[in-house]
Amino acid sequence: MTRALVFILLYGLLIALPGEVARPRSAAIEMPASQKSDERVALKPGLLSPYLIEWFIDLNEDADLSAVWRLLKIEIPPETPVRCNGCVAETFELETADESQRKTVALKISFEASHYYQYLIFRKKDPDRNKDDWKFLGAVESPLQQYGSPKHRIEIGDGRTWFVVRELWGRGSGMIAHGDVWYEIQEGKVERVAAYPVEGHNIPCQGHPGRSYKTVLLRHDLDGGVYTIPVQFIVSYNISDCDKGNNSPPLFSRSQKANFVWDSAQEKFILDKSRSDVTETEINTVYNNEGLTHEKFVEYNFDDLLEIARGKDVKKKQWLKQFLMELKESRFKTALQQALL
């Protein structure tokens, strides 16, 4: 594509759009005087490519991207920045399980000033044609990424392709949480199909139980005819004593496995309760940066706390005794206090 044609298409992108895009119209744009007067180019949504949009952003530091979104028919969340404001665009090719071997490309737009990141995913319509003929598959939005760009990767299995984004899910004083979101790249769309926490920590101090956690993605494949994503959750608890400037003494660790299976009715992965030793409630509280009350901590970890109460570690026993004094009355509290006697 010549440089002159690039500028023509970019110019057409800005002026060819109607106010509302129920059915985008094409527009004939006259070539510069240096070109023949009868040479015209029709701008249609199908002419948009990830590379053309990338050039458009590179040439316009404060580009208004609403024109691009209207042509692509994207429903943009309200928090999405409309103007570029110094945003950066980059394209990269994606490895996919597409049997026809059509080129698939992601355009990443980084609105760093707004902590917002967007991925636009395109696929070539025909692998045997040299013409830039692209189909827009869908968009992935990652807002509130205050610590920088999210990470991404590709997962493939059983002829399917997932674009996985690792995002910042939460932050605060002594807290941080990251999670993985899986988007399936399908023939005509990109759909969010799974999400789970991957790493984080909570340091509350003042002798309260602190925790750090991580997850390990195991080999995912068909299991009993159903596609399954097995994930190992690992959490470590400690006596959060950071106000004294000391390292937090460890208490115990736990490992739990979750199997997320494909649900055809909902068209997403859901937790298989019968083959998992962690519940959705635990995932949402233990493996998160907040939400785990002291009462729930005791309930979920009663056996480990009972082992401390019956054990010989004086420091841990003293901590548990003091910790239980601040707890609401319950059968778990009573049993632990009796074990400490």
- The 10s digit of each residue's pLDDT in 25-47 is 333 323 233 333 333 333 355 57
Task: Note the pLDDT tens digit of each residue in 64-81.
Answer: 898 888 889 888 888 899
**Residue 197 and residue 213 in contact, taking contact as beta carbons nearer than 8 Å:** yes
Residue found under tokens 């910042």: 168
Q: What is the pLDDT of residue 208?
A: 85
pLDDT > 50? residue 156: yes
**CB under 8 A, 24+ apart: contacts of 317-325:** 319/207, 319/239, 319/249, 319/251, 322/207, 323/207, 323/208, 323/209, 323/294
When the pLDDT of each residue in the chain is averaged and rounded to a whole number, the result is 85
Report, as an integer, the average pLDDT of 205-232. 93
Report, as an integer, the average pLDDT of 272-289. 93
Task: State in Å, rounded, how far the first CA of the chain is from the last one.
Answer: 82
The domain spans of the chain are: 151-292, 293-341
Q: Residue 181's closest CA among 211, 155, 160?
A: 155
**CB under 8 A, 24+ apart: contacts of 225-229:** 226/261, 226/262, 227/157, 227/158, 227/160, 227/261, 227/262, 227/269, 228/259, 228/260, 228/261, 228/262, 228/272, 229/182, 229/194, 229/259, 229/260, 229/261, 229/269
Q: What is the pLDDT of residue 25?
A: 34
Report in angstroms the alpha-carbon separations of 229 from 182, 184, 295.
Answer: 11, 13, 31
pLDDT band at 16 (very low <50, low <70, confident <90, very high): very low
CA gap 239, 317 in Å, rounded: 12
Q: What is the pLDDT of residue 244?
A: 56
CA gap 56, 200 in Å, rounded: 38
User: Which tokens in the block code for residue 214?
Assistant: 């991580």
Report, as an integer, the average pLDDT of 221-236. 96
Report, as an integer, the average pLDDT of 285-290. 86
Task: Note the pLDDT tens digit of each residue in 105-129.
Answer: 999 999 999 999 999 999 998 776 6
Q: What is the pLDDT of residue 245?
A: 53
Q: Which H/E stretch holds residue 305?
A: helix 302-310
pLDDT band at 192 (very low <50, low <70, confident <90, very high): very high
Q: What is the pLDDT of residue 21?
A: 32
**Residue 180 and residue 195 in contact, taking contact as beta carbons nearer than 8 Å:** yes
Quickly count: other Cβ atoms within 10 Å of residue 29's Cβ.
15
User: Which tokens in the block code for residue 54?
Assistant: 């990338």
pLDDT > 80? residue 184: yes
**Residue 87 and residue 81 in contact, taking contact as beta carbons nearer than 8 Å:** yes
**What is this structure's pTM?**
0.83
DSSP 7-57: HHHHHHHHHS--SS-SSPPPEEEEPPTTS-TT-EEEE-GGG--HHHHHHHH
**Residue 176 and residue 203 in contact, taking contact as beta carbons nearer than 8 Å:** no
CA torsion, points 260, 264, 265, 268, in degrees to nearest 10? 40
More confident residue, 119 or 101: 119
Q: What is the pLDDT of residue 34?
A: 35
